[in-house]
A and B are shown apart, each in its own frame.
Chain A
Amino acid sequence: MDHEPIPEEPRALPLQRPSGRRTFLKWTGGAAAAALLAACDESPITAEAAADGRTGNRNRGPVTNGADAVTLDFSSDIGVLNYAYALEQLEAAFYILVTDNFYSGGRQEERDVLNDLRKHEIIHREFFRTALGDAAIPDLAFDFSSINTRARGRVLQLAQDFEDIGVSAYNGAAKLIEDTEYLVVAGKIVSVEARHASAIADLRTPNGSAFAPRAFDLARDPREVLALAAPFVATQINVVNLPA
């Protein structure tokens, strides 16, 4: 499969929306990026302006290059680990995008938290990539075109959603894991995702109970998780050998 990995530091936001799932915009560095930047109105937009459409430029996220399709085979732990790897790829790509294109008007604490989340999700991603080796799925393609990175509310809502989805994914996958060592490492990650989710909720609503909305967290089936993630994943993810 021919693809370009998502670069760690994207240099420009695309000006055009892709016409469909298979039309990927290429990341380029150097001169091409400079040309894009020169043509792009970089003035920041407020969350209010973004919300009611009065934006001078979209500041939309990209659609990135990646595999057309992958299959997650849950008949073995490799499938479960690749499932986790897929979600960590998504989270890492999201946080790289939003921390490289920070919204204005937030507190420094928000930047600090989002930068920490970026690091953690990159670590999780690279951990799974390394652990899976030749058995790893390729880099996925993501569609962040619906994300206005300059809209604080939207960015924090999505961070909340991704972390909550991640927690429910790990909780739901626990029973699918056969190797105890893999169960342990998944357990080590899920509590960190929950710490993330709590911190994001705290940033959004400092004195509420949103840091922990329920006494028992959700445990979602992988198919439900992937359906929730689908708006942001351009790669077709096929699932096989999951119990009905």
Chain B
Amino acid sequence: MNDLTKPVLDTIDPELSAHLVSRRDALRKSGLWTGKMAWAAAASVPLGLAAISREASAQAAPPQAVVDVLNFALTLEYLEAEYYTLGVASGVIPGRDKGTFTTIRNHEQAHVDFLQSALGSAAVDKPTFDFTAGGTFDPFTNYGTFQALAQGFEDTGVRAYKGQLPALQPYDDVLTAAATIHSVEARHASKVRRLRGKDGWIPFAMTDVPALQPVYDGEENLLQLGINVGAFEGAEAGTEAFDEPLTMEAVLAIAGLFIVG
């Protein structure tokens, strides 16, 4: 099984990945490309990333709908990357968990780098953040608060990407790239939840932090394609088995608490 241990963009520079994609296309046209080789290459080069990198350097502007979604994602990734960078630097994280949050920080930075690259000159700038939300929170002096907000950001990120899948549906490569980020945010969320002594998945719309209730509203939903999924193994497991999307508006209302400029 493929097992890259470094973030993809650390190992594949855009020139190389574009070369690999165009080489694959050339081989296919020559008739020398076998099915087996195709899958080997596909597994080692996430095609979404390669194609998007190539598109960016080819200066074909993405459609405005895509630009809006990617800038939305970039804003959230700026927030997460900054949050974890400040957190790691602040000393609030005990030694045993530093590796975890450094890993998460590295991923968020890779997401920022990728989205900036995909957007090119259309990328929005990093906002100014206030992670105290005007003095409501003290994440960089209180580790419990740091963890709680981290959980909130990751669970929000999952719902944010999920909410944009329909908007990206016409664009295969961007859709795939967004999916591959979305599932990593879910891995992050699960890990941070478990650090806090919770399950990695969300039961009903439960949160132990009242201020974060907007992050979880709607997660109690049991109706999927008109089917009551609480009927199989009970309601709690039914709500855990499906994560729910959030609209861009709802996500920006949450993120906006921490954006001051």
Binding site for B on A (CB under 8 A): 113, 116, 119-120, 122-124, 126-127, 130-131, 161, 164, 167, 170-172, 174-175, 177, 180-185, 187-199, 202, 207-209, 211-221, 223-224, 227-228, 244
Of B53-61, B122-130, B179-187, the segment with at least 4 beta carbons within 8 Å of chain A is B179-187
Residues of A within 8 A of B259 (CB): none
Task: State the CA gap A228–B4 with chains docked (Å).
Answer: 17
A202 and B242: CB pair below 8 A? no
Residues of A within 8 A of B185 (CB): 191
B181 and A213: CB pair below 8 A? no
Q: Is B243 an interface residue (CB 8 A)?
A: yes
Residues of B within 8 A of A180 (CB): 166, 169
Q: Beyond A212-B191, A214-B184, A224-B42: 13 further Cβ-contacts under 8 Å?
A: A120-B237, A126-B232, A175-B172, A188-B224, A188-B245, A191-B183, A192-B242, A216-B9, A216-B114, A217-B179, A218-B180, A219-B179, A223-B39
Residues of A within 8 A of B47 (CB): 219
Task: State the CA gap A191–B193 with chains docked (Å).
Answer: 14
Q: Which 4 A-B pairs have the closest CB atoms?
A: A215-B7, A194-B186, A215-B110, A198-B190
Residues of A within 8 A of B42 (CB): 220-221, 224
Partner pick for B5 among A171, A193, A213, A219, CB 8 A cutoff:
A213
Q: How far is the CB of A194 from chain B (nearest CB, A)?
A: 4
Chain B residue nearest in CB terms to A190: B183
22 interchain pairs (CB within 8 A)? A116-B201, A126-B229, A126-B232, A127-B232, A184-B165, A187-B179, A190-B179, A191-B162, A191-B186, A192-B240, A199-B190, A202-B190, A207-B97, A207-B100, A209-B100, A211-B191, A215-B7, A215-B107, A215-B111, A216-B177, A221-B39, A244-B28
Which chain B residues in 105-135 approach chain A with CB under 8 Å? 106-107, 110-111, 114
Residues of B within 8 A of A130 (CB): 227
Decide if the interface of chain A is mainly helix, strand, loop or mixed.
helix
Decide if the interface of chain B is mainly helix, strand, loop or mixed.
helix
Q: Is B65 an interface residue (CB 8 A)?
A: no
B189 and A185: CB pair below 8 A? no
Task: State the CA gap A122–B233 with chains docked (Å).
Answer: 8
B200 and A199: CB pair below 8 A? yes
Binding site for A on B (CB under 8 A): 1-9, 28, 35, 38-39, 42-43, 46-49, 96-97, 99-100, 103-104, 106-107, 110-111, 114, 158, 162, 165-166, 169, 172, 175-177, 179-191, 194, 199-201, 224-225, 227, 229, 232-234, 237-238, 240-245
Partner pick for A183 among B104, B106, B165, CB 8 A cutoff:
B165
A188 and B179: CB pair below 8 A? no
A174 and B188: CB pair below 8 A? no
Chain A residue nearest in CB terms to B164: A187
B107 and A212: CB pair below 8 A? yes
A192 and B186: CB pair below 8 A? yes
Task: State the CA gap A192–B242 with chains docked (Å).
Answer: 6
Q: How far is the CB of A49 from chain B (nearest CB, A)?
A: 26
Residues of B within 8 A of A207 (CB): 96-97, 99-100
Q: How far is the CB of A161 from chain B (nearest CB, A)?
A: 7
Residues of B within 8 A of A215 (CB): 7-9, 106-107, 110-111, 181, 184
Task: State the CA gap A221–B172 with chains docked (Å).
Answer: 13
